[in-house]
Amino acid sequence: MSDILGPIKLSIAAPAYNEAECIAAVVAEWHDFLSTQALADFEIVICNDGSKDGTGAILDRLAGAYPRLMPLHFSANQGAAAALNAAISATTGDWVLLLDSDGQFPIQNLPDMLEALRRSGGLAAIGIRRKKDVAFARFGSWASGLLCNLAHGSRLRDFNSAFKLVSGPVLRRLGLEAKGMNYSTEVTSRLLERGIIPVEVTIEHRPRTTGASSMKLLCGARDRFLFVLYVILRQALLRRGILIRPKP
Ligand X SMILES: Nc1nc2c(ncn2[C@@H]2O[C@H](COP(=O)(O)OP(=O)(O)O)[C@@H](O)[C@H]2O)c(=O)[nH]1
Return the DSSP state at 14: E
Distance of closest approach, residue 149 Cβ to Mg ion, in angstroms: 23
Backbone angles phi, psi at 48, to 5 degrees: -80, 115
Instruction: Note whether 30 binds ligand X by CB under 6 A.
Output: no
Instruction: Note whether 21 binds ligand X by CB under 6 A.
Output: no
In terms of CB distance, is 215 or 243 closer to ligand X? 215
Distance of closest approach, residue 39 Cβ to ligand X, in angstroms: 23
Q: Among the candidate windows 23-31, 51-59, 99-107, 196-204, which touches Mg ion by CB under 5 A?
A: 99-107
Between strands 124-129 and 164-167, the pairing is: antiparallel
Instruction: Note whether 83 binds ligand X by CB under 6 A.
Output: yes
Q: How far apart are CA 183 and CA 29, in angstroms?
A: 24
Query: Would you tell me how many other CB atoms lie within 10 Å of the CB of residue 67?
Result: 9
Instruction: Note whether 89 binds ligand X by CB under 6 A.
Output: no
Instruction: Note whether 102 binds ligand X by CB under 6 A.
Output: yes
CA distances to 144, 152, 161, 207 from 184, rounded to whole Å, are 11, 15, 6, 18
Residues that bind ligand X (CB under 6 A): 15-17, 19, 49, 77, 79-80, 83, 100-102, 104, 208, 213-215
